[in-house]
């Protein structure tokens, strides 16, 4: 079984390589189609033509697009992600500096989402069709519908400006992570709670549960001992996928709260037309998506042996 699982995981990992190559290619092409010149961002529009041309040659921007693309892929393979056009520091070094802040925010947001979603999903499933179910799913619908760029400023206005309980932005002060984590974790909790409810109800309607009831097993044991394991499969799969999606939401949340993570670095690089840095940031975010999908597949294989045989 262990050898079969390793073979499947290795196969999924190999399949992810073309996806990353496609993402790198797409980002490279889209960035070079965006209006604007990085030379203007570095020197300004009043720079002398000789200075502009010298900088363009130094950055290899005067080469054909295909040559730039080949150099970009060659650098990725060799571990050289290029240098930032703004401060001339290695792109990989800039990204590594920001990853811990994003990982901290994402970890607390995911933990908050789980703490909210599982009890809420269980409560809604246990009272399916009643007013408790309607209230719980209404809350989850509200969480899915409210965008981060609206919820973040509202929380900031209420708890930071009006009440003065928490810091407005940054990460240096105590409690600074509370508002960003709530902003990012609310939508994740809404998605997970709806998945938990539907999974529990689906399992509770199966023949195995009807058989357990026929043998006189108590409801509490049925819900937690028999149904919880099967209901956990889609929930854990969704949770693994949300680990990748949380980085996409972190781009907006970090910008709103000035949280010095990878999302804010991506926005700053886009605004400055820093092509190498944007490519590196997007590639890291896409890699997390791919790894999250791989983790979801592995969790599903570990929980449900039928998928390994399939």
For residue 161, is it within any domain?
yes
Question: Which pLDDT does position 42 carry in this prediction?
Answer: 65
Does 68 share its domain with 197? no
Question: Are 102 and 164 found together in one domain?
Answer: yes
pLDDT at 1 over 60: no
Residue 85 in any domain: the answer is no
Same domain, 115 and 65: no
Question: Which residues lie closer than 8 Å to 240 by C-beta, 6 or more apart?
Answer: 292, 293, 295, 296, 299
- Is residue 9 included in any domain, yes or no? no
pLDDT band at 37 (very low <50, low <70, confident <90, very high): low
User: How many folded domains does the chain comprise?
Assistant: 2
| 230 & 282 share domain | yes
In a domain, 55, yes or no: yes
Dist CA 159 CA 176 (whole Å) = 11
Do 210 and 149 share a domain, yes or no? Answer: yes
H/E/C letters for each residue in 92-119? Answer: HHHHHHHHHHHHHHHHHHHHHHHHHHHH
pLDDT at 236: 79
pLDDT digits (tens, 9 = 90+) for 215-241: 777 777 777 777 777 777 788 777 877
DSSP code for 47: S
pLDDT tens-digit series, residues 109-121: 989 988 888 888 8
Distance of CA 182 to the CA centre of its chain: 15
Same domain as 256, residue 167:
yes
250 and 302 in a single domain? The answer is yes
Indicate if the pLDDT at residue 264 is higher than 60.
yes
The mean pLDDT value of the chain amounts to 80
Q: Is the pLDDT of residue 4 over 70?
A: no
The reply to whether 153 and 283 lie within a common domain is yes
Answer with the residue of higher pLDDT: 11 or 159: 159
Give residue 73's domain range.
20-78
What average pLDDT does the segment 186-201 reach?
86
Torsional class of 37: left (φ above 0), alpha (ψ -120 to 50), beta (otherwise): beta
Within a domain: residue 87?
A: no
- Residue 12 is assigned to a structural domain of this protein: no
Read off the pTM.
Answer: 0.79
Residue with more model confidence, 159 or 27: 159
Q: Is residue 92 part of a domain?
A: no
């Amino acid at each position: 079984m262990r050898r079969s699982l390793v073979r499947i995981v290795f196969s999924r990992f190999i399949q992810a390589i073309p996806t990353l190559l496609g993402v790198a290619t797409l980002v490279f092409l889209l960035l070079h189609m965006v209006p604007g010149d990085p030379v203007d961002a570095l020197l300004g529009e009043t720079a002398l033509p000789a200075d502009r041309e010298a900088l363009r040659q130094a950055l290899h921007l005067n080469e054909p697009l295909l040559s730039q693309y080949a150099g970009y892929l060659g650098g990725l393979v060799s571990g050289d992600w290029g240098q930032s056009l703004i401060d001339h520091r290695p792109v990989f070094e800039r990204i590594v500096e920001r990853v811990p802040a994003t990982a901290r925010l994402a970890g607390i947001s995911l933990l908050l989402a789980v703490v909210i979603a599982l009890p809420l999903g269980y409560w809604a499933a246990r009272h399916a069709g009643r007013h408790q179910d309607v209230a719980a799913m209404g809350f989850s619908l509200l969480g899915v519908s409210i965008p981060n760029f609206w919820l973040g400023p509202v929380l900031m206005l209420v708890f930071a400006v009006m009440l003065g309980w928490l810091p407005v932005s940054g990460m240096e002060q105590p409690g600074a992570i509370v508002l960003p984590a709530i902003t990012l974790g609310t939508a994740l909790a809404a998605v997970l709670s709806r998945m938990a409810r539907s999974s529990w109800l689906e399992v509770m309607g199966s023949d195995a549960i009807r058989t357990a009831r026929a043998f006189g097993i108590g409801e509490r044991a049925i819900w937690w001992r028999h149904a919880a394991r099967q209901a956990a499969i889609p929930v854990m799969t969704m949770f693994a996928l949300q680990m990748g999606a949380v980085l996409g939401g972190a781009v907006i949340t970090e910008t709103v709260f000035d949280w010095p993570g990878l999302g804010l670095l991506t926005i700053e690089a886009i605004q400055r037309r820093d092509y190498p840095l944007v490519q590196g940031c997007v590639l890291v975010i896409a890699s997390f998506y791919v790894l999250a999908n791989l983790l979801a597949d592995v969790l599903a294989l570990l929980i449900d042996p039928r998928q390994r045989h399939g």
